[in-house]
Structure 1
Amino acid sequence: LLFYEALRRSKPGLEPLSLPAPPSTNSKLAAQMLSFQFEEARRISGDYETLFSWDRVSQYAFIADNCVPFWRRMVEHIEHFDLSTIDHDILGRLFERLIEPNERYEWGQHYTSSDVVDLMLSFALPNGEGNLLDPAAGGGTFLVRAYTRKKSLCPTQSHQDRLTELFGVDVSHFAATIATVNLAAKQLEFENNYPRVATKSFFSIEPGDKFMQLPLDASAEPREMVTIALPSMRAVVGNPPYIRIHKLGKERQAEVSGVLGKGSRVRSPQKLPKSANYHVYFWFHGAQFLEPGGYLALLTSGEWLDSDYGAPLQEWLLNNFAIEAFIESGAEAWFSEARVGTVVTIARQCSDKATRDENIVRFVTLRKTVRNLIGLHDSPVEHMGAVDKLRDRILALSGDGEGEDMDWSAVSQRQLRILGAK
């Protein structure tokens, strides 16, 4: 409803939202009216099928006549809200809060703090340029903050060009909808405003596959569609779900088992312990989409650093990446209500063994929140500059040290391999 009203301001052909006038409380008629309006929104805009599909879940909103007055009141007030001024944090937290708490914990579905996302993106897209993929996009925080980073560091790039470099996948239709809204709302007055966010399992996609179809010209009748294929990525970033493999259904288990032993430039291990967490497979599959020298920047449970199932992942990273940093926080939870310790891993694909061996790996524990370390700033450009200074400070760490705002240990990847062997 919010997005329809925002879209209507840039598409004069769309009628204002309406429901049966009082005293009518016919829920079937109300559902038909909204369904028709959403179909018109799809037709006139040429896309946004993720948002405006009328399915069984939509039907439940009008399951009883006595709900119609409340929806009518919503429609009457919604035109006073400007979606473009509603920050992505609001929709991201909405996404999180509408998932039942036990399910949210069970599946590791948590809204991620923008501050740590900005820090991760500072490593992964140092100059703001390049394609980026979030394989578990959730409410779209990584995509929106990547958009903001590109806008700050590459101001001459158009809104449409930024969208063509950002790709998101989520198996949840609801999550993909929120991510689509968050990106499309950045500049609704432009044509060709179609985020590359798909509702599908990440493990059903291979590099170069058809990703989705988008309208070539929204005004054309019949609509001309263009197929979008997944290009190579400068960065694969995100916060993949944490769940034990045995808790997944057979279909999901079969998908992830197909990831093992695959890859040309970065080959996955042949097998993993049965105790392996679901998020590990996102590392292996995500690496297949990277361009040479591309980045993995993932926020995950930290248990893989000292668990049996983590050993193959550690060896795989040492054999294929220059690991730049492991970052933890002793000052804040990087996503709300999570009951696991988390770690950020920054790793750059590297095929040269000598370079990998000499690479310095930094283990960092922050003693202050990221916001305290970067400060408050009036503009996104100043904010990104402060984040980049923190990144550069981390990359300059050497030896072992303790400070008021962070503790660290920096060792070469060769030393790390020797220590691991012991």
Structure 2
Amino acid sequence: MFKITERSLYEPICRFLEERIEAKTISEIGGKEGYLDILFQLDSYPFILEIKLGKEEKKLTKAIAQVVDYGLRYNTMNIIVLQFPSIESGQVVLEIENFKRQVVFQKVRGWIHTEYLEKWIEEQRFEEVFEELKNSFKERIRKIDFNSVIKAIREIVQDLYEVIKQAKTDEIFVEVAEKLELFVGLGEIEDKNKAINQVSMLASYLLFNQLLFYHIYKMKTKSNIQELKPIKSINELKNYFSQITNIDYQPIYAVNLVDKLPDRPEIVELINECIKNLLVIRAEHITQDLAGRFFHALLPKEVAKVWAAFYTNPIAAEILARLAIDKWDETILDPACGSGTLLSAAYKRKLELAEENGITLSKAELHKKFVEEDLTGIDIMPFACHLTAINLALQRLEQITDLVRVARMDSLDVAAKLKLTEFKNKGILIKPFHETIQLTLDGEKKSIKKLGTVSPAGKGAKFYLKPVNVVIMNPPFSDRDKLPKDYLDKLKKNELGQKCGHQINLWGYFLSLADLILSQNGKIAAVLPINIARGGATEKIRNLLIENYHIKYIVKPIADLAFSESADFRDILLLAEKRKPKKEDITRIIFLKKSIKKIKENELQQII
């Protein structure tokens, strides 16, 4: 009888690697800080393989951080950490040789962090994992699974949450909630403790966001800022952040969390574990078509609810953009832009059409045109506006621009100006900042200067709002009866109510706004609640669409409740062209049977 340990697996694994994928292997290398399980070389690439046993669900971030230390020593960031759930340490087997023969057929879970393959393994046979690894390095085609990267990052953010909890909670709450104005327009806080927990989680996300952006910027540009590495003190982290804020991107670092962190060894150790995990997930290789999804996908769902944000599923955004945008030079507005998912999808679609039509402009020139002239976003939440500006900048990070057309304001406030002649001619001037009144956390009103344009660098530059070809949006579905009284009173005076009826919820006002802001033959592409099709409250806006638009597409999800992530209501995608309908017009009603969570981006061209 034999007792199984991790070492029992080294010999059959090494034999498999040598015979099946033609690797050179060395097992169990010792050092002052412990033992490295298996070091192997495939072609000219060195890899470190760490083995774990047992069924226990484990976060492997700590194991990865430990292996990174070996990786730095052996000059490799090709790191694999695999767990064998069906094999327990200490279990007894009668026939050791038979056990060894079966090892490579066992299912494993864990992480592959390598140059050409980046993914989470949920349940896959060991031999299949390494066949895929061999093929990836043979083809030299980088394969990075976006959902796996997000999973890795969420685990890191959870670890950073442990760091934030050891800081001064009240100071963190004030720093995050006030600077991001999380509760503007949402009324007073009902449950302060719950709000503190949610803001602490958001702070964890923000701190990681700061680390991540620094790393991506360094890896994707030719900047001479230092490469992100493990730190010895909190002051070293401050130094990293000051280097990038001296260049640009102040909004990302405007929430000063680092100063609130105690400079203790255990805190530094936790942050270093996060940095080490960040270094191996290769987020810098996320392609441009995924960049617009990246930051918004990291925002925890419970945090999104703090600032009443339900975001469009990225695949739904791609569907809507592909249905709505026909020409590469169309102008687009999202009046409730959130983190910029729809505008990022619009950017991608415009770039695709420019390439298909043989437009001779370079990608740099197209980027400049798109973000400085064609794409406009407005949102009432400042944090959302900054995320939109950053997401658009990320489409071509190496080309810095401060002229992103993103404004922090209530879109509905511009309604009165849309009937003026200047709107159709020169356009309505949107200035960088205006004075407004904010409802603070304790309900006290104070004057601040916040409304206006934003950019990746901060304040932003003025721009003119003109009629657009496409309004693409997922407007807020907020119940009018749950709106703060002061906002509801303002809404009742808004002339948009004459078009949509003052009994409708907030999304109806945004549809009315879209009607005013569209040029003739322009298109509304919107995520709308399914109850637009019925009821007295929606009758007026429904008739507006039926009488003045050609409704071209209605897309209804079957496998999913909604196109909005984390939503608890049913919705549809609607595309309507602004012109009087004709008898020969066709409205296509599409029932999407496959879950949008299972649709891959390369399948969209077959769908549309």
Normalized against structure 1, the TM-score is what?
Answer: 0.70
Choose from 281, 292, 296 the match for 1:92. 296
Choose from 574, 580, 587 the match for 1:345. 574
Equivalent residue number for residue 10 of structure 1: 221
- Per-residue CA deviation, residues 47-76 of structure 1 (Å, 9 max, x unaligned), is x34434235xx4686378564443344345
- Paired residue type of 1:40: N
CA distance in 1, matches of 2:492, 2:344: 31
- Per-residue CA deviation, residues 251-305 of structure 1 (Å, 9 max, x unaligned), is 432453344258xxxxx527422xx211111111222221221111111211122
- The answer on 1:364 being equivalent to 2:589 is yes
Choose from 219, 229, 247 the match for 1:41. 247
CA distance in 2, matches of 1:376, 1:75: 30
Is residue 210–residue 228 contact of structure 1 (8 Å, CA) maintained in 2?
yes
Equivalent residue number for residue 159 of structure 1: 367
Give the 3 Å change call, closer, same or farther, for CA 181–74 of structure 1 in structure 2.
Answer: farther
Give the 3 Å change call, closer, same or farther, for CA 98–62 of structure 1 in structure 2.
Answer: farther
RMSD: 3.7
Offset, 1:214: 7.7
Secondary structure of the corresponding residue to residue 213 of structure 2: helix
Offset, 1:131: 0.9
Equivalent residue number for residue 418 of structure 1: none
Higher relative contact order structure (alpha carbons within 8 Å, sequence separation ≥ 6): 1
5+ residue gaps, structure 1, are 43-47, 263-267, 378-382, 391-422
Higher alpha-carbon Rg: 2
After superposition, residues 257-268 of structure 1 pair within 5 angstroms as 257-261=492-496, 268=498
Equivalent residue number for residue 279 of structure 1: 507
- Per-residue CA deviation, residues 103-129 of structure 1 (Å, 9 max, x unaligned), is 58xx4x333233332332233212333
Secondary structure of the corresponding residue to residue 502 of structure 2: coil
- Paired residue type of 2:570: G
CA distance in 1, matches of 2:475, 2:260: 30
Is residue 240–residue 279 contact of structure 1 (8 Å, CA) maintained in 2?
yes
Secondary structure of the corresponding residue to residue 115 of structure 1: helix
5+ residue gaps, structure 2, are 1-210, 419-427, 433-452
Is residue 315–residue 601 contact of structure 2 (8 Å, CA) maintained in 1?
no
Give the 3 Å change call, closer, same or farther, for CA 91–39 of structure 1 in structure 2.
Answer: closer
After superposition, residues 196-215 of structure 1 pair within 5 angstroms as 196-205=405-414, 208-210=428-430, 212=432
Is residue 184–residue 193 contact of structure 1 (8 Å, CA) maintained in 2?
no
Equivalent residue number for residue 330 of structure 1: 558
Equivalent residue number for residue 390 of structure 2: 181
Secondary structure of the corresponding residue to residue 358 of structure 1: coil
Offset, 1:366: 0.8
CA distance in 1, matches of 2:320, 2:478: 23
CA distance in 1, matches of 2:295, 2:598: 26
Offset, 1:152: 0.9
- The answer on 1:114 being equivalent to 2:344 is no
Equivalent residue number for residue 606 of structure 2: 386
Q: Percent identity?
A: 18
Give the 3 Å change call, closer, same or farther, for CA 312–100 of structure 1 in structure 2.
Answer: same
Is residue 215–residue 227 contact of structure 2 (8 Å, CA) maintained in 1?
yes
Offset, 1:245: 1.2
Equivalent residue number for residue 527 of structure 2: 299
Equivalent residues, number? 350
CA distance in 2, matches of 1:320, 1:286: 13
Secondary structure of the corresponding residue to residue 126 of structure 1: coil
Choose from 493, 499, 522 the match for 1:269. 499
Secondary structure of the corresponding residue to residue 412 of structure 2: helix
CA distance in 1, matches of 2:492, 2:462: 28
Normalized against structure 2, the TM-score is what?
Answer: 0.50
- The answer on 1:249 being equivalent to 2:484 is yes
CA distance in 2, matches of 1:323, 1:366: 16
Give the 3 Å change call, closer, same or farther, for CA 195–310 of structure 1 in structure 2.
Answer: same
